[in-house]
């Protein structure tokens, strides 16, 4: 078998199925990543969403029999919306991060990888292939970096010269000996913009991320958001793009190569108040196809309440009072109480005083008392 020719054919085929960049690396252990992951675990910098077994995350031979190569793919996603939402006074909107625009990228990339697997196995029927996107064992970024897709930026994203960091990554482990590509030189240089602007100081020199402090991670948690993060959330209801938008390497990068990734502005920038009362069925129908819905509606609703407080939206006071009184979930009631304390006004004060007499959940009561205290200090 001429593996050199096969690699060239795979590259050519990838272009025909909407893969924007492809790279190849060996299936040897990711030693550097292993050290990094152990450090992250020790420092409690992990999000908890990742594969727990570090060996599986760095050693492809635990995932496929006699692996020889890993094929890394990248698909560019848009950074700007073609259509804009029409803003009306009093109608506040939240924002999903760019990686949640359009159809869930896991679906899109798995489709491309499946096509690639079929192509390879048509030519070599006994080829073994194992593909993964984000939720697989391997660290997508480590694979992409070693396969020459881009360099690992100080913002912990893979930065490609062609598309910036606005790329989704996926990979396929195979037992075919395909020639590896050369990793790219780091091009961040002395720039530190992402580290300097990260709202919570989650980025650490040397390309480390404390996921526990990362706003993108915090938007996906389901409990009460720590006060410190509530203040920093702004109108983000899922994810955070700050370290990408400030990156000079992303200047002018806005690719619309995949129709599935085009955002519907009404979904990517949804009205906040309707989110407070959305049913499970409606949520699934409207948001079920985007990656930002993977944790269900609760974190999105909690973040929407925080965003309304960020805007100090007085027009939302009535809805927030209803939520504080009637929502069955303590996190949502308590966050609504906090938001009322932030927005303020007589109506909020009266509602909080009444809720203080009626609420039975201790955590919610604490939120109500804190909100009342804040309001009495501001009088
Ligand atoms: Fe690198 Fe600067 Fe971009 Fe951060 S903002 S990833 S330091 S180029």
Please report whether residue 363 resides in a domain.
Answer: no
Residue 312 is predicted with a pLDDT of 96
What is the domain range of residue 225?
1-80+102-259
Compute the distance between CA of residue 224 and CA of residue 240 in angstroms, rounded to an integer.
Answer: 18
Please report whether residue 143 resides in a domain.
Answer: yes
Please report whether residue 245 resides in a domain.
Answer: yes
Q: Count the domains in the chain.
A: 1
Residue 379 scores a pLDDT above 80: no
Please report whether residue 186 resides in a domain.
Answer: yes
Give yes or no: 264 in active site.
Answer: no
The verdict on ipTM greater than 0.95 is: yes
Instruction: Tell me if 198 CB under 6 Å of ligand 1.
Output: no
Smallest CA separation from ligand 1 atom 4, residue:
194
Integer distance in angstroms from the first to the last C-alpha of the chain? 80
Choose one of 187, 192, 209, 250 to mutate for the ligand 1 pocket test, by most ligand atoms within 8 angstroms of C-beta: 192
Instruction: Tell me if 203 CB under 6 Å of ligand 1.
Output: no
Residue 135 is predicted with a pLDDT of 87
Q: Where are the extended beta strands (E) located within the chain?
A: 21-26, 69-76, 95-96, 129-132, 151-152, 158-159, 167-174, 203-204, 208-209, 236-238
Phi, psi torsion values for 204, nearest 5 degrees: -120, 140
Specify the higher pLDDT residue, 277 or 208.
277
pTM across the whole model: 0.94
Compute the distance between CA of residue 68 and CA of residue 54 in angstroms, rounded to an integer.
Answer: 20
- Give the DSSP H/E element, type plus range, for residue 272: helix 272-276
Side-chain-side CA neighbours of 263 within 13 Å: the count stands at 26
Phi, psi torsion values for 235, nearest 5 degrees: -105, 20
Compute the distance between CA of residue 332 and CA of residue 352 in angstroms, rounded to an integer.
Answer: 14
Please report whether residue 313 resides in a domain.
Answer: no
Instruction: Tell me if 158 CB under 6 Å of ligand 1.
Output: no
Compute the distance between CA of residue 62 and CA of residue 283 in angstroms, rounded to an integer.
Answer: 38
* 158 annotated binding-site participant: yes
Please report whether residue 108 resides in a domain.
Answer: yes
Please report whether residue 336 resides in a domain.
Answer: no
User: For the segment 59-111, what is each residue's pLDDT rounded down to a tens digit?
Assistant: 999 999 999 999 999 999 999 999 888 878 889 999 999 999 999 999 999 99
> What is the mean predicted confidence (pLDDT) over 271-281?
97
User: For the segment 17-73, what is each residue's pLDDT rounded down to a tens digit?
Assistant: 999 999 999 999 999 989 888 888 888 878 778 788 899 999 999 999 999 999 999
Side-chain-side CA neighbours of 115 within 13 Å: the count stands at 15
Residue 283 scores a pLDDT above 80: yes
């Amino acid at each position: 078998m001429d593996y050199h020719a096969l690699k060239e054919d795979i590259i050519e085929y990838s272009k025909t199925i909407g893969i924007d960049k492809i790279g190849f690396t060996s299936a040897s252990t990711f030693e550097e990543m292993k050290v990094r992951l152990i450090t992250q675990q020790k420092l409690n910098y992990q999000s908890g969403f990742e594969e727990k077994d570090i060996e599986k995350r760095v050693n492809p031979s635990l995932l496929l029999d006699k692996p020889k190569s890993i094929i890394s793919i990248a698909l560019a996603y848009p950074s700007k919306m073609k259509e804009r939402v029409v803003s009306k006074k009093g109608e506040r909107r939240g924002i999903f991060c760019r990686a949640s625009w359009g159809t869930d990228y896991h679906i899109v990339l798995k489709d491309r990888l499946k096509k690639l697997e079929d192509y390879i196995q048509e030519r070599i029927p006994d080829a073994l292939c194992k593909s993964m996107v984000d939720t697989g064992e391997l660290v997508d970024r480590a694979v992409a970096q070693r396969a020459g897709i881009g360099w690992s930026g100080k913002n912990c994203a893979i930065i490609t010269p062609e598309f910036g960091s606005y790329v989704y990554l996926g990979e396929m482990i195979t037992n075919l000996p395909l020639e590896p590509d050369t990793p790219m030189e780091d091009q961040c240089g002395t720039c530190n913009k992402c580290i300097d602007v990260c709202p919570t100081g989650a980025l650490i020199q040397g390309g480390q991320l404390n996921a526990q402090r990362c706003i993108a991670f915090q938007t996906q948690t389901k409990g009460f958001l720590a006060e410190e993060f509530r203040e920093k959330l702004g109108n983000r209801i899922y994810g955070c793009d700050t370290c990408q938008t400030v990156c000079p390497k992303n200047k002018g990068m806005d690719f619309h190569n995949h129709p599935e990734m085009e955002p519907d502005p009404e979904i990517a920038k949804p009205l906040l108040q309707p989110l407070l009362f959305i049913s499970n069925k409606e949520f699934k129908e409207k948001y079920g196809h985007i990656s930002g819905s993977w944790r269900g509606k609760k974190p999105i609703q909690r973040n929407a309440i925080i965003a309304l407080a960020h805007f100090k939206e007085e027009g939302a006071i009535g809805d927030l009072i209803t939520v504080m009184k009637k929502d069955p979930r303590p996190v949502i009631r308590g966050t609504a109480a906090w938001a009322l304390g932030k927005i303020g006004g007589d109506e909020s004060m009266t509602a909080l005083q009444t809720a203080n007499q009626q609420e039975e959940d201790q955590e919610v009561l604490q939120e109500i008392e804190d909100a009342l205290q804040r309001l009495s200090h501001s009088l």
